[in-house]
Chain A
Amino acid sequence: MRFRHLNVALALGIVAVILQTTLFDRYLDPFDVAPDFVLLVVVAASYQLSEEAAMLLGFSAGLLTDLLGNTLLGVWALVLTVAAYVTVRIRPRVEGNTFLTLASIFVLTVGGELLYATLGTLFGQQVFSDVNAFKKVLLAAVYNLILAIGVLPLTARLMRRDPAAGVWA
């Protein structure tokens, strides 16, 4: 059961990265800003997975994003690993509360994008030179908030917890 859930999560991560680079960045980017769909999927899946599986998913999806994009290798891997780790840490407090869950999506998107921008800048990429950097961070978080309404139940259904196990598989 553990591996099935991890496999489903990894498949979701790959689909998210493909959709991010084809659908969202090219066509679904109102006001020239796309949602951070990969981060959203990682966070949503992290609400269902074990701590280790969530972090492995974050790292894998981030690495794939780095490899397919034109960014420094490892930046998104780190950002999404942190996002997954924070999600599993706050999960016991926000779970069952829709408002807190959605708020966590918003905050994690803002935090993730800012962490990406900071790391990119530290490693020589002029991310903060983008005059619309803060607009992008905030709008991406708003879009993620809207998409989360559909993505959260979908990931929960795809990775339904095993009631007999009593833990996140």
Chain B
Amino acid sequence: MLTNQRFARSTALFISLMILSFLLMTFDVRSEGGGVTGTLRDGVRTLLDPVQSAVTAVIRPVADAVDATVNLAGLRAENDRLREDLQEANRTLAETESIRAENEVLRDLLQLELPGELLSRSVVARVQAGGSSNFDFSVVLNKGADEGITVGQPVVNLQGLVGHIDSVTSNSATVKLLTDPDHAVAVRLVGSGFVGIAEGRGSSDLKFVSSEADGPVSEGEVVVTFANRYPAGLVVGTVARAAEPAAGAGILTTIEPAVDFERLDFVRVVFYLPGAGDDGATDEEGPDGGEVP
């Protein structure tokens, strides 16, 4: 009898928790991350941000040391390869000068928006935590609304576009990465000029779809953002494989992201919001005065 009562009680609790979970999911979907669930999320993140920062501060040096030890042989090989690359670079220096001049002309032709001015209105942040599971394509930054960060702002690093701010608390911000399957960005191929959409596919190359493309695209073509959610001209990656247009269906290929998402550390949040001003930059500035490192 006691066992039956216990079984009934635990089953009732199980069913209650299931219903509660479904209610939370429904509230979260309907409030689109805001409302009560948003407030709850912000509160917990604010509470645990210092803990995450402290744990990361302890783990990072150890992980870096282990990483360096493990990769020692690889670093030696890479060093040799870099020496060869340097010799090759010296040989082609003269050629590069002429290519640079040509590149400037091409930029003018393509009317790419140089991000230099935008970068002066930005703040540098550091990744303090990753996603909560293998299907969570986000990272948490150690700066938030107190530094002028708001939802929607682009996040870049020296390699290129990382993603955009998805949620913010006073002292942390969550970045939705380019690789998130729910993420899509308008892009332009610099070489061929085709415009299309780059969609995340999880921890893999991005999918590139262009219905307007009527010519071939070649492997290695640089892909940049095309003004929409992000300022135009931010490097997204390079075309991973050449493709020919299918009859009436445009181009379908993949893009290798420029950013190494596994080794994200310092990033820059650009104070840019679509339609916020002539150049899209907001008036907010970080306390560091927007210094570019």
Beta-carbon nearest neighbor of A129 in chain B: B181
Asked if B132 contacts A74 (CB within 8 A), the reply is: no
B181 x A69 contact (CB < 8 A): no
**Most chain A CB neighbours (cut-off 10 Å) among B51, B132, B176:** B132
Residues of A within 8 A of B29 (CB): 72, 123-124
Interface 0/1 of B1-41, CB less than 8 Å to A: 00000100110011001101111110111000000010011
Contacts of A26 in B (CB 8 A): 56, 59, 63, 127, 129-130
Interface contact B45-A25, CB-CB below 8 Å: no
Contact with A along B158-183 (1 / 0, CB 8 A): 00000000110000001010000110
Query: Majority SS of interface residues in chain A?
Result: helix
Instruction: Report the interface size for chain A: residues with CB under 8 A from the other chain.
Output: 60
Contact present for A55 and B13 (CB under 8 Å):
yes
Q: Given A18-B51, A136-B134, decide whether A74 and B202 contact each other with a Cβ distance below 8 A.
A: no
The answer for the CA separation of A114 and B52 in the assembled complex, in Å, is: 27
| Interface contact A125-B182, CB-CB below 8 Å | yes
Which chain A residues in 130-159 approach chain B with CB under 8 Å?
A: 130-133, 136, 140
Chain B 111-154 near chain A by CB (<8 Å), digits 1 or 0: 00000000000000001111111111110100000000000000
CA distance A150 to B55 in the complex (A): 21
Do A69 and B131 have beta carbons less than 8 Å apart? yes
Minimum CB–CB distance from B183 to chain A (whole Å) comes to 9
- Chain B's closest residue to A127 (CB) is B135
Q: Given A68-B132, A70-B136, A131-B204, A51 and B17 touching (CB < 8 A)?
A: no
Interface residue count on the B side (C-beta < 8 Å): 55
Q: Are B24 and A27 in contact (CB under 8 A)?
A: no
The CA of A52 and the CA of B203, in the complex, are separated in Å by 37
Which of B6, B132, B176 has a CB less than 8 Å from the CB of A20?
B132
Residues of A within 8 A of B204 (CB): 130-132
Cβ distance A132 to chain B, nearest Cβ, rounded Å:
5
Contact B135 A133, beta carbon cutoff 8 Å: yes
Chain B hits for A76, CB < 8 A: 132-133
Interface: B262 (CB within 8 A)? yes
Residues of B within 8 A of A132 (CB): 202-204
The reply to whether A51 and B6 contact each other, CB–CB distance below 8 Å, is: yes
Confirm or deny: B44 has a beta carbon within 8 angstroms of a beta carbon on chain A.
yes
Highest count of chain A CB atoms <10 Å: which of B25, B59, B128, B135: B135
Tell me which residues from 44 to 95 in chain A have a Cβ below 8 Å from any Cβ of chain B: 51-52, 55-56, 58-59, 62-78, 81-82, 85, 88
Residues of A contacting B99 in the complex (Cβ-Cβ under 8 angstroms): none
Find out whether the CB atom of A22 lies under 8 angstroms from the CB atom of B59. yes
Using CB atoms and an 8 Å cutoff, list the residues of chain B in contact with chain A: 6, 9-10, 13-14, 17-18, 20-25, 27-29, 37, 40-41, 44-45, 48, 51-52, 55-56, 59-60, 63, 67, 127-138, 140, 166-167, 174, 176, 181-182, 200-204, 262
In addition to A69-B131, A74-B22, 18 A-B residue pairs with Cβ atoms within 8 Å of each other are A25-B129, A27-B60, A32-B262, A55-B10, A56-B13, A67-B40, A68-B52, A69-B132, A70-B131, A70-B137, A71-B135, A72-B28, A74-B20, A74-B23, A126-B181, A127-B181, A136-B202, A136-B203
